[in-house]
Structure 1
Amino acid sequence: MPHLESHLDPEVLTLLAIGESVATPAEQDHLSTCPRCKAELSALTRTVVAGRSTVLLEDLEAPPDRVWSRISEELGFSTPAMTSGATAVSEIGPAVQTRPTNPSDAGADRSRAGSDAAPAHRRRRRGLIRGLFVLAASVAVVGVAVGGWALTRQATVVELASAELAAFPDHPGAEGSAVVVERGDETVIEVALDADVDPDSNREVWLITEDASEIISLGMLEGQTGEFVVPDTIDLREFVLVDVSDEPVDGDPTHSGDSIVRGALDFA
Structure 2
Amino acid sequence: MAHADPGLLTLLALGEPVPDESVEDHLRACATCRSELAALREVATLGRETRVERDLSLPSEDVWARIAADTGQDTSSVVPLRPHRWRTLLAVAAAAAVIGAAGAVAVDRFTTDPAISEQVLAQVDLARLTTAPDTARGSARVVRTGGRTVLRVSVDGMPAPDGLYQVWLFDGVTTMIPLGVLANGQADMPVPETVDLNTYRVVDVSAQRWGQQEHGTSMLQGQLG
Which category of TM-score, normalised to the shorter sequence, fits these structures? 0.3 to 0.5
Rg larger in structure: 1
**Structure 2 length as normaliser, TM-score?**
0.47
Larger RCO, structure (CA 8 Å, separation 6 or more): 2
Pick the structure with more helix per residue: 1
**Structure 1 length as normaliser, TM-score?**
0.40
